[in-house]
Amino acid sequence: MRQLIAGNWKMNGRLADGAALVGKLQQAVSGLECDVLICPPATLLHTLAAQLAGSAVQVGGQDCHTKVSGAHTGDISAAMLRDAGAAWVILGHSERRTDHGESDAMVQAKTRAAVAAGLSPIVCVGETEAERVAGAQDAVVGGQLIGSLPQDFAQGYAGVVAYEPVWAIGTGRTPSEADVAQMHAHIRKTLVSHLGEAGRGVRILYGGSVKPSNAAALLALPDVGGALVGGAALVADDFAAIAHASHAVAAAARAG
Ligand code: PGA
């Protein structure tokens, strides 16, 4: 399965530097054997989607509301993201869960709304450092998955899951390769028990301090279906290097 290399720009980027970053990226990732996605702030979505039309780089949002429209000041619906040119949306990122108190039930409602609007969700899960120290990571991540993904998606789930340990986001720290492989196997098992056969095909991204120097090793791990990249997604050369690492993993797999 093709890996997905997704860039989460978070609350970064203005029109001028966003356009420049995307201009460089477009060249640097063309023809690679992986899917490439950027999730810029909503203010840039339409412009960058237009700039990227016909290129290999897809565009996504960083959050959406559960409703299609209405009296929800400051919010953006999945249908609006789609209208602006998005194909994907990140949901339940730990910064949303922390800064905006998003529960699994809210993430599940947003996931439904995204799919109904024709977007592919990237549903984020991950334990805090205290939870890992307590040995609770499998229970926490399993609970988030079951709570965030509607079970009736057993008919087929168009989105992906991103495992992002909270303590690895923006810190430069990553779990060991063995811990990433163990958690991805646990997530796969949980997806299959929750969604049945549909759970086998869902790509599981790793996120949290992915950079050019660690991407090749992380992306080569079993059941790692791509990466969700924050800081390194703001530097065209770094993000492109991560996509090239994914391409190399695909080429090596093909060569057997
Ligand atoms: P990071 O962020 O790559 O800067 O650690 C990842 C994320 O929050 O998605």
Q: Which pLDDT tens digit goes with each residue over 209-222?
A: 999 999 999 999 99
What is the average pLDDT score of the chain? 97
Q: Annotate 38-56 with b (16+ C-beta within 10 A) or e (fewer).
A: bbbbbebbebbbebbeeee
How far apart, in whole angstroms, are the C-alpha atoms of residue 52 and residue 35? 14
Q: What is the mean pLDDT of residues 124-133?
A: 98
Q: What is the mean pLDDT of residues 39-65?
A: 97
User: What pLDDT is attached to residue 39?
Assistant: 98
Q: How confident is the model at residue 156 (pLDDT cuts 50, 70, 90)?
A: confident
What atom of ligand 1 comes closest to residue 94's alpha carbon? Answer: 8
Say if residue 152's pLDDT is above 90.
no
Pocket residues: Cβ below 6 A from ligand 1: 8, 164, 169-170, 207-210, 228-232
Q: How confident is the model at residue 154 (pLDDT cuts 50, 70, 90)?
A: confident
pLDDT greater at residue 32 or residue 256 = 32
Q: How confident is the model at residue 155 (pLDDT cuts 50, 70, 90)?
A: confident
- Active-site residue (options: 131, 164, 184, 194): 164
In contact, 137 and 127? CB cutoff 8 Å:
yes
Question: To which residue do tokens 């640097």 refer?
Answer: 28
Least confident among 35-49, 142-156, 170-184: 142-156
Q: Which of 98, 218, 229 to mutate to test the pocket of ligand 1 (most atoms within 8 A of CB)?
A: 229
164 is catalytic: yes
Say if residue 256's pLDDT is above 90.
no
Say if residue 9's pLDDT is above 90.
yes
How far apart, in whole angstroms, are the C-alpha atoms of residue 38 and residue 101? 25
φ/ψ (deg, to 5) at 47:
-65, -45
93 is catalytic: yes
Least confident among 59-68, 106-115, 153-162, 242-251: 153-162
Say if residue 30's pLDDT is above 90.
yes
Which domains, ranges and CATH numbers included, belong to the chain?
4-255 (3.20.20.70)
Q: How confident is the model at residue 177 (pLDDT cuts 50, 70, 90)?
A: very high
How far apart, in whole angstroms, are the C-alpha atoms of residue 201 and residue 214? 25
Q: How confident is the model at residue 131 (pLDDT cuts 50, 70, 90)?
A: very high
Instruction: Report which protein residue has its CA nearest ligand 1's atom 2.
Output: 230
Question: To which residue do tokens 């060991």 refer?
Answer: 176
How far apart, in whole angstroms, are the C-alpha atoms of residue 139 and residue 190? 10
Question: To which residue do tokens 């599981």 refer?
Answer: 204
User: Could you tell me which residues are beta bridge partners of residue 125?
Assistant: 163
SS3 label, residue 32: coil
Say if residue 153's pLDDT is above 90.
no
Q: How far is CA 146 from CA 151, 154, 197, 227, in A?
A: 8, 12, 15, 21
Sign of the CA dihedral with 216 first, then 221, 224, and 230 last? negative
How far apart, in whole angstroms, are the C-alpha atoms of residue 42 and residue 84? 9
CA 112 to chain centre: 16
In contact, 94 and 131? CB cutoff 8 Å:
no
User: What's the CA-to-centroid distance between 207 and ligand 1, angstroms?
Assistant: 6
Q: How confident is the model at residue 137 (pLDDT cuts 50, 70, 90)?
A: very high
